[in-house]
Structure 1
């Protein structure tokens, strides 16, 4: 954070401040990005291929499980990947996750029926959960805290890019190659990532012992699976009052009770029950469920509406989905930044859930005659509503819990969004399949159809519509249009429930260190598991980037009660840490213009805060007193950012983080002068 004190050096000037990450580490981060790309892409790339997959393999009533199987497996595996990586080494686990993901991808591409595809998607999701969790964790192993936010921001950018490119790429591959290439495309990318990781990734050994909650993980996955099975099979495969559905519901309740009992005694519970005593967390969890329910349900069935009802190609269906994605990304980014800067957040979950409900009602109005402008406008409104609430939910959960629960609360909020997504896709599928069968039966009752065509065959394969006489096609298209858009009508009350609950959120004052989460925490379909230390590390580094280094030193100077230039304060603290600095050499090593350095030198010399000893500057007694006060102000500033987390019983890992950041505020180790005189260790001490 030493650079950029008074001004930014022109491009091409000294870059030592950014050269502390070695080249092989940058290559490793590139390979991690490829791994993240694979997992993120498979959350969205399948949506535009689903209509073609169903036409090829059949099983329209099980379409939702192609998405749900991946979501459930990835969600259930996430906490295990994180803790196993801590315990046995992340490199080996990351390679294992890539291999599992690639095997799942190859098998998905070779699937011969819907049952095989669903099973192989679950295997793929198992590996995908590990790719997301471990790639983010390995970045924390490779780069220091002050750089972490910048590199983790790259992973957020990957999520943002795949949200836009996923549906497009899925459509292009489906239309011009085969839907199987939606899965096969992962293989060359994954092999490259695997080879690079094996060759260049070297992670410091820092293993931690965990008591892994295997039973709790199994039980919560089993409860979620029972819920989704009830939602997807009830009313279609089996009647709602059938012994099978009742049995699944009872089993789900019993497993939920067992989960509560296990979590009460678990040493490291996968979802600590004490979090539900925090009202903000409980309400946010329910609203997150609602957001996942609406978002993934719509993203799964809108491409079917576009391709079947409007006859749009798979590629163009991805293009038509862009207004929704743009609205989501725009609102998500903007709302997160506004909340971080103003500290006011309650309006966003209220507005977001309200606009999402409005968007669902608008989507219900669509039919086979809707114009492209109407489609784009309604999609944009729906995406805007989702975006307004998604980032803010993660942020307010982080603000509501104590430090020791920060990491698990963050993943808990996204966990409920993942379960909501699985449940939403299943419910949407049940409503769609049930309505479509009824509507097609009503439309063609008593109407003679061509040989081999029946309402049942039209329901199983939408390509059969092309075999109908021209006069009968509109009725079939209308049945599909109503069946899909009725899904959005059924989802609207769920969004309205989120709107009502949002009014009961208590707008607590934000800690200064709670900043907008990166996009990976916002858009990931499965939880992004990080420790409390990782979350604070990310928050403080992001805050430093946002505020700007000049503002940091201005704040330190004002807090100390001096009228020095920000660069002069930085210079005094640097001399205090290293004993002496050579101004010209310092400007060569740092991304700070020589003119700014010399202006700071002139000020500290005129005020007799530092004097020359040869080519070096050293502190006078008065300068040392100023530097001591500035150091105290810097520590006070960090402590203020951490708020009540920096209490009398603050944990040792938080103390270590503040110590490390305190030292790095003067510059990285690579910027250290060749000769160090009278080193002051006190600068490394926290408050």
Structure 2
């Protein structure tokens, strides 16, 4: 795409960002309302699976599309991703139970993975690494805007309309995004010499599925030491070994092992994995504090997360321009990540809505400063011939980190909640056996933390109870909130610890100058022609 005019490139970027916004807004609009949706559909024990399946399918789609888009071009995959995402969103609105919701969210995840992988790679096709800084900042801002609009809108919709409209309201935007990409995005000629690595794709997918299922089911559906979980981890290792063997023989590997001989790619992907594990694993439970502990409605819950998004939008745009201006990137990661850690620590000890808002602002400042860096580092370290696979590898490790983080944090959350509930009930001195069986049956529903996530239902049930039980109900609700708050503290501290590990790794990231063109030094050599990773210091 190097022969396109600047005006044409900007027009294509607008089309790409519309497609990204369509995917992102559908995510953020659902996030705040999901606790209420799960409370309506039932199955809180499967709450993390609604998120995990989305991350799992998007992860697999991301890594497979990376190589395929290097062969067939980005356009057909962005279009296919939009269609898949729209189908998943449309069907999600018809979910009758938690299992249907999980299935349809999986289809949405496939579409999202295809869209995001193709979109971020297309930026590399259009602009040199030096120019990508400001465009990565703009793309982060797109996510930020969706994060600003989505949560309050999602909260308002679930409070005032049928929750199905959360999935349907932005479907028209999908048609707009499809039309813009179809008309504006240039068609890429297929590289006829490239062969599709079917065998490598199969074993990589099997390894990812077994790994993520192991982490998702461990500590929840099965004990960590159970035969099922150990079997999944063993299967994942076996599939990875077979995958490595296949890739060493493949003429056009789906994920070239040569990428990981480049220390910049390896360290950047490791940081992305750990950072997303801590960040996603902890932040996914923020609505539990706002809605469950503080009793805020989903409408106003969205306003609590809005400051983080606004801070991220502003700072990511500034950071992107500074990266383009200076050609430096490492310093921004070293500044941003400690700020993210500080925000996470504040979350661990927050005891009011205002402290939650402060935590969101601090975290958003750090996120906007540090997050744009790691997509640029990997793209700058390889030949343009491998732009698709290296971008896919970056997103693969981020998605794996996020998915595993959510699963592990979910396990921590559940185990801590059970422990804290037992301790809270013991300390309260309340004994349900001392009241009559009928009253005990009525009070049983107030012993589940899921009740805290549906405030209207909670109030409705309270009104049905006799006056003499009202003080008991109030005590039980307070006990639930204390147990939930203590459990969330553990989750946020675990997230902060992982971010510290990511910060330490950042010090070992080698910084090389950002190129001002899409050609690698020595591209006229055999290495440059073949698309091998070049890891010189330029």
| 43 and 299 in structure 1: CA distance in 2 versus 1, 3 angstrom threshold | farther
Q: 1:428 aligns with which of 409, 413, 420?
A: 409
Q: Partners in 2 of 1:220 and 1:162 — Cα distance?
A: 32
Q: Which residue of 2 aligns with 1:12?
A: none
314 and 407 in structure 1: CA distance in 2 versus 1, 3 angstrom threshold? same
* SS at structure 1 position matched to 2:443: coil
Q: For the structure 1 residues 459 and 474, does the alpha-carbon distance in structure 2 shift closer, same or farther, using more than 3 Å as the test?
A: closer
Q: CA deviation at 1:216?
A: 2.7
* 1:388 corresponds to 2:369: yes
Distance 1:313 1:227 in 2: 36
Q: Residue 169 of structure 1: CA displacement?
A: 2.5
- 1:644 — aligned with what? 521
1:45, CA displacement in angstroms? 2.3
Describe the superposition over 1:258-297 as per-residue Cα deviations: whole angstroms up to 9, x where unpaired.
Answer: 2222222222223222222222222211111122112322
Task: Give the whole-Å Cα distance in 1 for the aligned partners of 2:212 and 2:150.
Answer: 25
Shift of 1:108: 1.0
For structure 1, list consecutive stretches of 5 or more residues without a partner in the other structure: 1-16, 514-535, 538-641, 655-687
Shift of 1:321: 0.6
Contact kept? 2:328, 2:514, Cα under 8 Å: no
Is residue 51 of structure 2 the alignment partner of residue 67 of structure 1?
yes
Q: In the alignment, which residue of structure 2 is the partner of 1:419?
A: 400
Q: Secondary structure, in 3 states, of the residue corresponding to 2:27? A: coil
Q: Is the 8 A contact 1:105 1:186 kept in 2?
A: no
SS at match of 1:112: coil
Once the two structures are overlaid, the 10-residue window that deviates more, 434-443 or 46-55, is 434-443
Q: Residue in 2 aligned with 1:452?
A: 442
> Does the alignment pair 1:295 with 2:279?
yes
The answer to whether the Cα contact below 8 Å between 2:140 and 2:313 also exists between their aligned partners in 1 is: no
Q: Which runs of structure 2 are paired with 1:361-510 in the superposition (5 Å)? A: 361-367=345-351, 370-372=352-354, 374-402=355-383, 404-445=385-426, 446-448=430-432, 450-454=440-444, 458-462=448-452, 463=454, 466=459, 467=462, 469-506=473-510, 508-510=511-513
RMSD: 3.6
Q: Label 1:394 to 1:188 Cα distance change in 2 as closer, same or farther (>3 A).
A: closer
CA displacement, residues 564-586 of structure 1 (integer Å, 9 cap, x when unaligned): xxxxxxxxxxxxxxxxxxxxxxx
Q: Tell me the equivalent position of 1:273.
A: 257
Question: Could you say which residue in structure 2 is the equivalent of 1:207?
Answer: 190
1:611 corresponding residue in structure 2: none
Q: Greater shift after overlay, 319-328 or 340-349?
A: 340-349
Q: Deviations over 1:415-463 (max 9, x none)?
A: 2111111111112211112222332233335532753333785134434
CA contact (8 A) 1:58 1:113 kept: yes
Aligned residues: 501
The answer on 1:284 being equivalent to 2:288 is no
1:461, 1:218 → 2: CA distance? Answer: 42
Using the TM superposition, name which of 475-484 and 441-450 deviates more.
Answer: 441-450
TM-score under structure 1 normalisation?
A: 0.65
1:109/1:181 contact within 8 Å kept: yes
Pick from 46, 50, 62 the counterpart of residue 30 of structure 2: 46
Q: For residue 226 of structure 2, what is the aligned residue in structure 1? A: 242
- Determine if the alignment matches structure 1 residue 222 to structure 2 residue 206: yes
Give the helix-richer structure, 1 or 2.
Answer: 2
1:314 to 273, 279, 298: 298
CA distance in 2, matches of 1:505, 1:89: 31
Alpha-carbon distance in 2 for matches of 1:307, 1:54: 13
After TM superposition, the score normalised by the length of structure 2 is 0.81
TM-aligned CA deviation for residue 30 of structure 1: 6.6
- State the Cα deviation string for residues 576-618 of structure 1 (Å, max 9, x = none): xxxxxxxxxxxxxxxxxxxxxxxxxxxxxxxxxxxxxxxxxxx
Equivalent positions of 1:6-21 (< 5 A) are none
The answer for unaligned runs of 5 or more in structure 2 is 433-438, 463-471, 532-538
Residue 240 to residue 279, structure 1, CA distance change in 2 (3 Å)? same
> Against the structure 1 CA distance between its residues 454 and 254, is the aligned structure 2 distance closer, same or farther, given a 3 Å change threshold?
farther
Farther-moved stretch of structure 1 (344-353 vs 265-274): 344-353
Query: How far did residue 84 of structure 1 move?
Result: 4.7
- 3-state SS of the aligned residue for 1:289? helix
1:228/1:422 contact within 8 Å kept: yes
